[in-house]
Amino acid sequence: MPRLNGMWSFAVWNEQRRQLFLCRDRFGVKPLYYRLERDGIAFASEPKALLGLFPQNRRISQKTLLDFLAFNQLFVGNESFYEGIHILPPAHYAVYEAATNRLKITRFWDYPADSDAAINADRAVAEFQVLFDEAVRIRLRSDVPLGITLSGGLDSSAILASAAKQAPNPPRCFTSVYTDNAVGEFKWAELASSATHAALEQSLAAQEDWIKVLDDVVWYMDGPGYSPAVYPLWCLMQVARTAEVPVLLEGQGADEALGGYPQYSVLELLDYLSGSGEAIGPRALISRLAGMRGTFSTQWSFAWLAREVSPRLLSWHRSRVGFQSLLRPGKRVAESRITSSSGSNDRVRRRLLDDHGRDILPGLLHYGDAISMAHSIESRNPFLDYRLVEWMFRLPTQFKLRDGKTKWVLREYLRSNGMRAIGDRKDKRGYPTPTGAWLASEQGRELETSLVDRPSILHEWIEPKKLSNLFELHRGGALAAEHHLYKLLSTQMWISRCIDAK
């Protein structure tokens, strides 16, 4: 498959052999669902298409839903949220034999087995620049207007810097803003667009609209989600479509390859303290701690440190604010046994492989594709050029994380391409949304009433009174309670829209 570079899911029927060939891209940007029963196989890009033919499958896959609610697991068993509807895994193809009604699934691509110890700092910077610019260059091919989703963070700013060098004119940029100005990154997005003389258009994500939009989002996603970033992304896609820009470049895939989340800095620190790398010294330790504190909040850094050092603390936290804290007496959710996809001694590399290939990125790509397609927009991801991904997973950890700071090689790219201020950014914001504040507002109390008082399938597992207590904990500032409440809200909306509604 080396001649295929990008995103796809397709089927080819061989009439002579009575064979069906199904294939999905390496990282699962494009979806492919199928149903295999005694009466044959059916496939589609969305479960709702299969449910139109087989309404008997409009049933919740209990194991999938509980894995999601309790442990944040999505697509781990390649099962959808609907019983009997499966997902072809990323980087796999399948051959269906009509004569025997059998399906054989085969992996056609995998991540590099090891990092390349021969890569030094100069070589890392030079090779990344070549590969990244090429990944952006081929994704600038378009016979319609093309733009960029710009947050002002490292990833989207790097895409803009590269595109501005290679495109005849700087692409139009779109960024999210909020009515209360509580969060958002407009000032950084404005800084990046100004550096390249690119036009920047704001997309307003208003509080009063987010519940209605979320109800539409779960229908397009055919399932619940764990990221409130779906709302500002929906609004942004709407603005881009109205502006007649039907192709957008996005920065998905960089965090999970170059170490952009707090857990990677924590794991690198633990590897350092274990003596698996350089000799331990006080200056290096202080530098790492200071870098982490400047990039992530102290609260989240210590929360991740506690989680990695002691699984019992994670279990305690889940019993306090997680889905387990809401269960009825006698109810229990067993976590699926998942082993790491790598046997590497490098903890950061192991986690990156798991997050990129299974635990985080597939879920983000799923909602990104669903929302962009809802607005007939083609979303392109330069960081998912397979040549660049293979190189990033051969890159030693020391050129991803340095002194507690993330994405070192990407920061170097920004510094050398006219965006030093953004390359020097310390704070990691992701795609921030004020969902926590909204859930704690009067609007949140209305949502609490709807989740607690109205009959729901969810009440088979959870006690409404315990759910009310979780809302109270959130209003009191409990760490991560917002995350669990959002998942429950998203799940209830999906049940109402896609399961209960016939």
143 with 241, same domain: the answer is yes
The Cα 301–Cα 304 span in angstroms is: 5
- Angle between the 311-321 and 298-309 helix axes, to the nearest 10 degrees? 120
Residue 331: Cβ within 10 Å count: 13
Is-contact 176 236, C-beta < 8 A?
Answer: yes
> Is 127 in the same domain as 269?
no
* Cα torsion through 283, 288, 294, 299, rounded to 10: -120
Number of folded domains that form the chain: 4
**What pLDDT sits at residue 501?**
73
- According to the model, what pLDDT value does residue 276 have? 61
The whole-angstrom separation of Cα 466 and Cα 439 is 16
Q: Are residues 370 and 453 in the same domain?
A: no
Of 107, 135, 169, the position where a domain reaches its end is 107
**pLDDT given at position 430:** 55
The closest alpha carbon to 73, from 219, 226, 214, 221, belongs to 226
Q: Is 472 helix (H, G, I), strand (E, B) or coil?
A: helix
What proportion of the chain, given as a percentage, has pLDDT over 90?
70
The verdict on 236 and 280 lying in the same domain is: no
Is the predicted pLDDT of residue 304 greater than 70, yes or no? yes
User: 37: domain CATH number?
Assistant: 3.60.20.10
What domain range is 353 assigned to?
Answer: 121-257+347-423
**Residue 301 pLDDT level (bands cut at 50, 70, 90):** confident
339 inside domain: no
Residue at a domain's end among 107, 142, 165? 107
Return the CATH number at 210: 3.40.50.620
> Of 273, 297, 326, which residue constitutes the final position of a domain?
326
Highest average pLDDT, of 182-196, 230-244, 340-354, comes from 230-244
pLDDT at residue 73 above 70?
yes
Mean pLDDT of 6-12: 97
Q: Please state, in angstroms and rounded to a whole number, the distance separating the CA atoms of residues 460 and 131.
A: 51
User: Is 334 part of a structural domain of the chain?
Assistant: no
Cβ–Cβ contacts within 10 Å for residue 165, how many?
A: 14
pLDDT bin (cut points 50, 70, 90) of residue 341 is low
Average per-residue pLDDT for the chain: 91
The Cα 263–Cα 286 span in angstroms is 18
Q: What is the pLDDT of residues 207-261, one digit of tens each?
A: 888 999 999 999 999 999 988 989 999 999 999 999 999 999 999 999 999 999 9
| pLDDT at residue 429, as a whole number | 58
Whether residue 362 sits in one domain with residue 240: yes
What is the phi/psi pair of residue 417, to 5°? -125, 35
User: Is pLDDT at 346 greater than 80 in this prediction?
Assistant: yes
Residues 284, 164 share a domain: no
pLDDT digits over 153-166, tens only?
999 999 999 999 99
The residue ranking higher by pLDDT, 382 or 273, is 382
User: Is 90 exceeded by the pLDDT of residue 8?
Assistant: yes
> Is the per-residue pLDDT at 376 higher than 70?
yes
Tell me: do 142 and 164 sit in the same domain. Answer: yes
Rounded to two decimals, what is the model's pTM?
0.92
- Is residue 251, in this structure, part of any structural domain at all? yes
Q: Which of 279, 304, 276, 310 is nearest to 292 (CA)?
A: 304
Residues 443 and 352 in one domain: no
pLDDT of 340 reads 67
* Pair (278, 353) in one structural domain: no
Is 113 inside any structural domain? no
Query: Is 342 within a domain?
Result: no
pLDDT in tens, 398-434: 999 987 789 999 999 999 999 999 999 877 655 567 8
Give which of 310, 311, 287, 289 is closest to 298, Cα–Cα.
289
Separation between Cα atoms, residue 459 and residue 112, nearest integer Å:
45
Asked if 304 and 363 sit in the same domain, the reply is no
| 60 and 126 co-located in one domain | no
Let me know whether 386 and 249 are in one domain.
yes
pLDDT of residue 428: 66
Q: Which two tokens stand for residue 162?
A: 């590269």
Tell me whether residue 116 is in a domain. Answer: no
What end-to-end distance do the CA atoms of the chain give, in Å?
Answer: 41
Overall average pLDDT of the 273-296 stretch: 69
3 lies in some domain = no
53: in domain = yes
